[in-house]
Amino acid sequence: MPLPRLIPCLDVAGGRVVKGVRFRELRDVGDPVELGAAYSEAGADELVFLDVAATVEARGSAVEVAARVAERVSIPFTVGGGIRSVADATAVLEAGADKVGVNSAALARPALIEELAEVLGSQAVVVAIDTEGGRVRSHAATRDAARDVVEWARECEARGAGELLVTSIDRDGTRSGYDLELLARLRDAVSLPVIASGGAGCAEHVAAALQVAEAALLASILHENPARLVSLREELRDLGVPLRDAA
Amino acid sequence: MTRSPGLEPRPLRAAIAAYGAGNVRSVELALRRLGAETELVHEPAPLLDADLAVLPGVGSAASALAGLRERGLDEALRERAAAGRPILGICLGLQLALEETEEDGGVEGLGLAPGRAVRLREGRVPRIGWAPVHWAGPEPGGEAYWFAHSYAPETPAATATSEGIVAAVEAGPFLGVQFHPEKSGAAGLRFLRAVLERCLSRA
C-alpha cells in the first residue's frame, strides 16, 4: 500500500477559509492559497478545499481557487462543494485540481458518480459521506439522506467512485478521536481507499485512524497553523507511522 | 524557490499533447517552474518539432486514444519515436504508449514501448498515494512520488518499480512513468529536471 496520508482540509466560503464546529458558526481564518501553500511546505501529502457555501456563484470561485492553488503548490489537491455535473468537475480539473469531491449532488442523483468516473477516471472522483449514527446526511449535514452509511459506501464503489471521504458528524470538531468502529466497517465493506475525517484531537487519534484508513483529513486539529502540521508529523513518526519524507 | 535548471543557452521547448484527457495544466506549470517553454498542442506538427513531447493523461484509455487519433497525435508520436526524439509519458500517457491495455474491454495502444497495461489486482484500487520508487541501476533512489491509478504496465522494459508495480518504462526515446512527477512536490521537480537535462544533452 502507498504511505499513509495526512490531508489538511480547508473549508472555503466566499473565497476565504472558514472553520465551524459541527458544520455551523463559520468564522474567517485566512486565504486558501496562502494557507494551502504553507501546508504544502509543512509536509502535507495532499490538500482538500471544500466549498461549504456552495452556490451557483461559488462554483466560479472554486475554479478560480483551483487555478490559484495550482500555481502555488505541486502536490495533489481535491476541490469539493457545488459540483453537480461533469462540466463543473472538468472545469475544476482543467484549472489544475486532481480530484473533485461530491456529496449532496451524488445523493440526489447517484448516476453523477458514474458520469464523473467515465470522463475523469475513478481516481479523480472522491465521494464525501457525512454520517451521524450510521445514517448518511446531506446538504452540509443538515438533512437526513435516508440511507445507511455502509450501503451508500458500497453503492458509491459500484458506481465508480475512487475514494470515500468519510466524516463523522458525531465527532466533527469535538477533538475526541476519529470514529474507528465506523472506519473499520467501511474498510471491510469496500476496497476503495478511505479518508477518515472528523474528531482528530491529538497525534494518537490520527495514528489510530491510519490503522484502519488510508488517509486522515485534518481540520480543527491544525488550528489553521501549518507549524502544527510539522509537529504532528514528528509525533506521528515517533508513534511509528511511516510518513513520506517530503524534503 | 526553484533553482534554475541550467537550461542555457536556450530554453528547452516542451510540447504537451492536449487531447481532452489529462491534467495538462499541472504538467505545464511544473515544466515552466523548471525554465522550459511549454506549448499545448492539438495537432501533429508542433508535437514533432519540440525538444520534448509530453503525453499526459488521466481518465479512461478508450476515450483518450480516440482523442489522440482524432487529432492525428498518435501518428505524430510514432513518427517522433521512430526518429529517436524524446517522449515522456505520464500515468495514462504511459499506458497508452504500450502495445495494448486491458482497460475498456481491451484497447490497442500506440506501441511506443513493449507490454500491456493490466488492472491492479492487489491492495486498494485505485492505488492512490505517495509510494517509494526504486530504479534499476546504480542509483536505486527510494524517493516517494504521487500515484493515482487502477492499471499498471506489464512489460520487459521496466526501469523502476514501486511496491512491486512497474513505475517506469523506457524504450529508445520513450520514457514513461506511472507516477505523476508534476504532482510529486520537490521530488517530482527533481525528476523532471533530470528528464529535461537528458533531452538537452541529446539535442
Give me the pLDDT at residue B2, please. Answer: 46
Chain-centroid distance of CA A92 in Å reads 16
User: Who among B63, B92, B125 is closest to A191 (CB)?
Assistant: B125
A93 interfacial to chain B (CB closer than 8 Å): yes
Residues in chain A with CB shorter than 8 Å from the CB of B147 are 2
- Enumerate residues 6+ apart whose C-beta is below 8 A from A24: none
Residues in chain B with CB shorter than 8 Å from the CB of A75 are 146, 183-185
CA-CA distances (angstroms) from residue A99 to A49, A79, B82, B188? 10, 6, 35, 19
B194, three cell numbers: 533530470
Other C-beta atoms lying within 10 Å of the C-beta of residue B164: 9
Selected catalytic residue, list B103, B149, B182, B199 = B182
Catalytic annotation present for B182: yes
Active site residues of A: 11, 130
Asked whether the CA dihedral A121, B31, B133, B68 is positive or negative, the reply is positive
Mean pLDDT of chain A: 92
User: Would you place residue A16 in the very low, low, confident or very high pLDDT band (cuts 50, 70, 90)?
Assistant: confident
B160 with B134: CB under 8 angstroms? Answer: yes
Give me the pLDDT at residue A203, please. Answer: 98
H/E/C letters for each residue in chain B?
CCCCCCCCCCCCEEEEECCCCCCHHHHHHHHHHCCCEEEEECCHHHHHHCCEEEECCCCCHHHHHHHHHHCCHHHHHHHHHHCCCCEEEECHHHHHHCCEECHHHCEECCCCCCCEEEECCCCCCCEEEEEEEEECCCCCEEEEEEEEECEEEECCCEEEEECCEEEEEEECCEEEECCCHHHCHHHHHHHHHHHHHHHHHHC
Most A-contacting residue of B2, B27, B128, B192 (CB-CB within 10 A), to test interface: B128
What's the domain range around B147? 13-202
Angle at B58 between CA B143 and CA A101, to 5 degrees: 90
Residue B3 lies in a domain: no
Q: Say how far apart CA B163 and CA B147 lie, in whole Å.
A: 12
Is B60's CB within 8 Å of A118's CB? yes
Q: Say how far apart CA A113 and CA A125 lie, in whole Å.
A: 7
A150, three cell numbers: 455502509
Give me the pLDDT at residue A55, please. Answer: 58
H/E/C letters for each residue in A63-112?
HHHHHHHHHHCCCCEEEECCCCCHHHHHHHHHCCCCEEEECHHHHHCCHH
Residue B8 lies in a domain: no
Nearest by Cα to A243 from B144, B142, B165? B144
> Domain A5-238: which topology?
TIM Barrel (3.20.20)
Q: Say how far apart CA B178 and CA B186 lie, in whole Å.
A: 17
CATH for B64: 3.40.50.880
Residue B6 lies in a domain: no
Find the residue in A nearest to B30 (Cα): A74
Residues in chain A with CB shorter than 8 Å from the CB of B143 are 245
A121 interfacial to chain B (CB closer than 8 Å): yes
- Enumerate residues 6+ apart whose C-beta is below 8 A from A53: A12, A13, A14, A26, A81
Give me the pLDDT at residue B10, please. Answer: 79
Is A5's CB within 8 Å of B129's CB? yes
B18 with B46: CB under 8 angstroms? Answer: no
B161 interfacial to chain A (CB closer than 8 Å): no
pLDDT in tens, A35-80: 999 999 999 999 999 888 765 555 567 888 999 999 999 999 999 9
Number of domains in chain B: 1
Question: Smallest CA–CA separation between B127 and chain A, in Å?
Answer: 7
Give me the pLDDT at residue A223, please. Answer: 83
pLDDT tens digits, chain B, 203 residues: what are they?
444 555 556 789 999 998 876 679 999 999 999 999 999 999 999 999 999 999 998 778 888 899 999 999 999 999 999 999 999 999 999 999 999 999 989 999 999 999 999 999 999 999 999 999 999 987 778 999 999 999 999 999 999 999 999 999 999 999 999 999 999 999 999 999 999 999 888 75
Most B-contacting residue of A72, A164, A165, A244 (CB-CB within 10 A), to test interface: A244
pLDDT in tens, A171-193: 987 889 999 999 999 999 999 99
Give me the pLDDT at residue B26, please. Answer: 94
Question: Smallest CA–CA separation between A97 and chain B, in Å?
Answer: 8
- The whole-number average pLDDT for the span A195-223 is 95
Give me the pLDDT at residue A220, please. Answer: 83
B3, three cell numbers: 533553482
Give me the pLDDT at residue B23, please. Answer: 76
